[in-house]
Every structure is written in C-alpha cells, then in structure tokens.
Chain A
Amino acid sequence: MQQHYPLFYTFHFYFFGVVAIASALAFVTRKSPVAAALWLVNTMFSLSAIFVLLDAQFIGVMQVLVYAGAIMVVFLFVIMLLNLGHPSEIADTRGKWPVFAASLIGIVMLSMIMSISRGRIAADFQVPVGFAAQQMEKYGAVGTVARPLFNEYLLAFELTSVLLLVAIAGAVVLGRRKTADAR
C-alpha cells in the first residue's frame, strides 16, 4: 500500500488541493453571482489538475470541456439573461443564526465523512501498484474508460442517452414563452 511519491507530485497535489478549497470558499462567500460562477470555474480547473495527477487524464479533459466549458457557460448565460446585478438580488446570504447553524451542520457532516473515509477496505480489492499506468499503456487514456463503458455498462450508457433526450425536451417545454393561442 505504502507507495513513494516524488516531491514534484506531492507538491502539485497539495497546491491544487489548496487552490480548489480556497476558490470553493471564495465561491460560497461572493455576493455577486458572476464572481461566484468564476470562482467555481477556478475550483473545477484545479480539480481537473488533480484528476490528471490521479491518472485520469480523460476525466480531467472532460472536466474542463463539459463542466467548466459547457455547464458553467450555461450558468453564466442564465445569470446574464436574468440580469441579476441589482442590489436587491445581491443582498443574498441569510442572517447570522442560519449561517451559524449551517456552519455547525457543515462541521458535523465533515467529521462524519472523514470518519467514514478512514474505514479500512480489504486489501484484495486493491489493484497492484502501477496498474493504472499499465492500463494506460495498453489501452490509452480513452480506452481505459471506454472499454468498461461499452462492455459492462452499455445498457446504462444507452439509458443515459434517453435521459439526455428527456432533459432536452423538458428544457424546451419549460423555457418556451407561452403565446396567447397556446394557452
């Protein structure tokens, strides 16, 4: 289990971890929705760097393209479309007591998740050291994800396309402006 990591690796892991946490904190405390969205994009970029450090290059690229590139742009579009800049929208966080209670809930939850994540997993579930790099050499970064996706999880993959179709239809129906004759 105990694996030696070069200093370069450890430094970058901690660096991007700290950047991710700092920008997430900035994200929840910013008043302006646009600033919050941009801090969230920063969090996603540092998470994608961490994905690359964890030998998931394809997922790192998807994180930048899909999350930071597509989903957050949709969010920014909606923020600008609704023009959420005026003062009544900006005064946004709740009062003192709800924030205090929420922080308390957050601390309790954090300690719960931490204690769960320290649980032991049987050693025979674990793949040998260097397995990820070996897979990468054999199938490439995309093949590592694509092989299980199109073999064991093919049905789930097809169902996902149905889900996307339903979501598109739902978004169009909800976003349609009602005309007088359509009522």
Chain B
Amino acid sequence: MLAESLALSAVLFTIGVVGVLTRRNAIIIFMCVELMLNAVNLTFVAFSRFYGAEGQVFVVFVMTVAAAEAAVGLAIIIAIFRHRQTVNLQDINLLKG
C-alpha cells in the first residue's frame, strides 16, 4: 500500500500545482495550496504506517501551520479586496498601494 499511497499523493500534489498555475482567483489558488498540503500529509501518514509513528506528529504540525496560514492569508485577501474590489490576481500585479 505504500507505493499506491505515494502515487495518490503525487497525483493530488500535481493537481494542486496545476490549479495554482491555471487559476486566477486568489481564494481558489489558496485552496489549491491546501490541497498540496493535504497531499504531503498523505505521504507522511503512509510513511508512518511502515516506518514508525513519528510521521503522524508531523501531520499535526502541518495542520497547525495550515490553519495559521489560512487565517493570515484570508485576512490579506480581505484587505486586498477592500482596497481593489477584486481578488483576480491579474488585476493585482503592482506592489504599491
């Protein structure tokens, strides 16, 4: 089952990357990043099944960081939306206020 889990994780991670590259909505891009984190979690769990339980500890850490990242990132998106009235990343390409 290890090889199958790693293959599934690779496919999900790649779907996340392609989503980040093809979408323009900042929130959907953000959700693609969450999908990539989930794929990495699957890798950790699969390895922890066959190589000792430490992998699950790292999954807990990844989940915590994902929660923190979601909070800060969505706050940034809301701030940008208030300022520019859009979350389309092609309209937000200048690094000035």
Contact = CB atoms under 8 A, between A and B. Distances in A.
Given A75-B74, A148-B54, A114 B28 contact: no
B10 A117 contact: yes
Contact size class for B? 35 or more
Q: Point out which of B1, B19, B22 has the most chain A C-beta atoms below 10 A from its C-beta.
A: B22
Interface string B1-39: 101111110111111111101111101101110110010
A125 B27 CA distance: 40
Contacts of B76: 174
B56 A167 contact: no
Contact of B14 (A110, A135, A174): A110
B53 A148 contact: yes
Contacts of A17: 4, 8
Contacts of B92: none
Interface string A68-109: 001110110011011010001100111000110111011101
Contacts of B1: 3, 5, 13, 53-54
Contact of A71 (B15, B22, B34, B77): B34
28 contacts: A13-B1, A21-B15, A24-B35, A28-B16, A28-B19, A28-B22, A28-B23, A40-B31, A44-B38, A53-B1, A59-B45, A62-B60, A63-B38, A67-B34, A71-B34, A82-B81, A84-B25, A84-B87, A88-B88, A92-B28, A105-B18, A110-B11, A113-B10, A113-B13, A127-B52, A163-B65, A171-B75, A175-B75
Interface of B: 1, 3-8, 10-19, 21-25, 27-28, 30-32, 34-35, 38, 41-42, 45-46, 48-54, 56-57, 59-61, 63-72, 74-79, 81-82, 86-88
